[in-house]
Structure formats: C-alpha cells, structure tokens
Amino acid sequence: MTKKLIIAIDGPSGAGKSTLSKALAKRTGYTNIDTGAMYRAVALLVNRQQVDVADDRALQELCCDLTIEFIRGAEQERVIVNGEDVSQQIRTPEVSLLTAKVAACSTVREAMVRLQRKMGEAGGVVLEGRDIGTVVFPNADVKFFLSATAAERGRRRYDELRAKGLDVELQQTIAEVEERDAADSAREHAPLRRAGDAIDIDSTSMTIEEVLDKMLQLVEQRQSRES
C-alpha cells in the first residue's frame, strides 16, 4: 500500500499557494487544508463577537468551541465554521486585515496548530500556510516553499481584483503585498520562514501547470521511495 504523505506548502501571499495546493490535492486524491482560512475564520468570529484581541481568555474560549470543515465542491471549496458556510465572509478586506492581527496571537496559533495536526496526522493531506514545514509538521514528507517576486505577486493580485471589477492601482497593490510580507515575516510567533529542508519553487516566470507538474514529479519521487 502506498504511504499517505503529509505535504506542506508554505510561502508569502500571492505566490500561488491556494491554487496549487487545491490542484495538487485534486491530482493526488488528498485532502486540502487551507490554514489561512482557519485564521480567517477565527478573525470573522472575533469581529462578530467583538472580542478584544488582547483578551487571551476570550480568544481561548472562542477557539475551543470552534469546528472547521473543508468541503470540496465541483467548482469551489467551501469553508464551514460552526456549521455555517462562511466561504465568502472570510475573504472581505475587513476580515483580511483583522486576520493578520489575530494570526499574531499565540493563543490562537496554539489552538490552530493543534487542530491542524489533528486534521493532518493520518496523512493524505496537502496543507498550505506560512508555518507548516517549520512548526505544524516539521517532519512533513514533502515541503515546498513557493515564492515569486513582490512585483509579480502584486501584479497577480491586481489582475484578480480588476477582474472582480474593483478600481485599484497597480503600484498601491504591490505596496500592500510588500506590507503584508513584512508583517508576516516580522511577527514574534511563527513568522513566515523557509524550512531548511524545503524545496524552493520560484513561480515568477512559471505557469500554474508548470509548477504543478514539478510538484507532482517530486511527490511521485517521494512516493516511490516510500513503497
């Protein structure tokens, strides 16, 4: 029987992690775990319940009652939090901003890491985030660190927002990407850091298909070493 692997995909925002981890999960038949969506879910509840991010006890209570499920639909992946489909609500700019603050709280990180380990320990999973290969699963079977230049990631984000009909400026979007990078890398708890044994993939001048092919090849190599 082939071993069910734990695959970690880390990297800054806009490097293509979401698209690639979903595609890789589909091709391998593995479960995709979007850990950013989990921090976003906590931020949504913090916002709704007006919890103070400095109030550790309240954060702990909120996290300990939390249930998160990922449901893979034909088109999209749905995120179900405490039984409610919040797939859209967790992607608003307001929630995105609050998520960066919530993800910096050690109480929240500890609870989410515990949940992520429980969801992934049996293998057969692709986890995407910032600290999967360094903190959540330092012994993951395959670790990817996916990057692209800030200018390219900003351009991709700009195209995405424009396609949604939003009136944004390219330079401003690139500046925001750089700001988020700085916040994710500088925070005290589990900052964005490349694991020493991660495989680097720079997607700046690669297509999604090219990156996916490369990832699949490396996953298959790992599978054949295990069997």
Q: Name the site residues for ligand DC (rule: CB under 6 A).
A: 13, 35-36, 39-40, 99-100, 103, 129-131, 184
Cα(9)–Cα(177) distance, rounded to whole angstroms? 19
Residue closer to ligand DC, measured from CB, 161 or 223: 161
**Strand order from edge to edge, sheet including 77-81:** 68-72, 77-81, 84-85
Q: Are strands 199-202 and 6-10 parallel, antiparallel or unpaired?
A: unpaired
In the complex, least distance from residue 165 CB atom to ligand DC, rounded to whole angstroms: 21
Residue closer to ligand DC, measured from CB, 66 or 223: 66
Residue closer to ligand DC, measured from CB, 38 or 219: 38
In the complex, least distance from residue 217 CB atom to ligand DC, rounded to whole angstroms: 25
Closest to 66 (Cα-Cα) out of 41, 48, 92: 41
Residue closer to ligand DC, measured from CB, 102 or 219: 102
In the complex, least distance from residue 227 CB atom to ligand DC, rounded to whole angstroms: 30
In the complex, least distance from residue 224 CB atom to ligand DC, rounded to whole angstroms: 29
Cα(158)–Cα(166) distance, rounded to whole angstroms? 9
In the complex, least distance from residue 90 CB atom to ligand DC, rounded to whole angstroms: 8
Residue closer to ligand DC, measured from CB, 120 or 129: 129
